[in-house]
Amino acid sequence: CSANADSVSKQLFESLVVDEERHYDQYDTELDNLEKFGERYLVLQSIERSKNRESGAPVV
């Protein structure tokens, strides 16, 4: 993109890369937690999501 002086596309791709790196970091953290805590971690996640749903809070 920068070789062709297409700054808009360059900015778009850079922002996509940053976003995907953040997704990978979240995935890596979840995987680490699952390996450390196993089923207990999944149960806690389920309980927390249920509480958020009941209270109307955003479910992430």
List the chain domain ranges.
Answer: 2-55
How many Cβ atoms sit within 10 Å of the Cβ of residue 12?
12
28 versus 5: which is more confidently predicted?
A: 28
Q: Which two tokens mark 53?
A: 């749903």
- pLDDT tens digits, 34-54: 999 999 998 998 888 888 888
7 versus 31: which is more confidently predicted?
A: 31
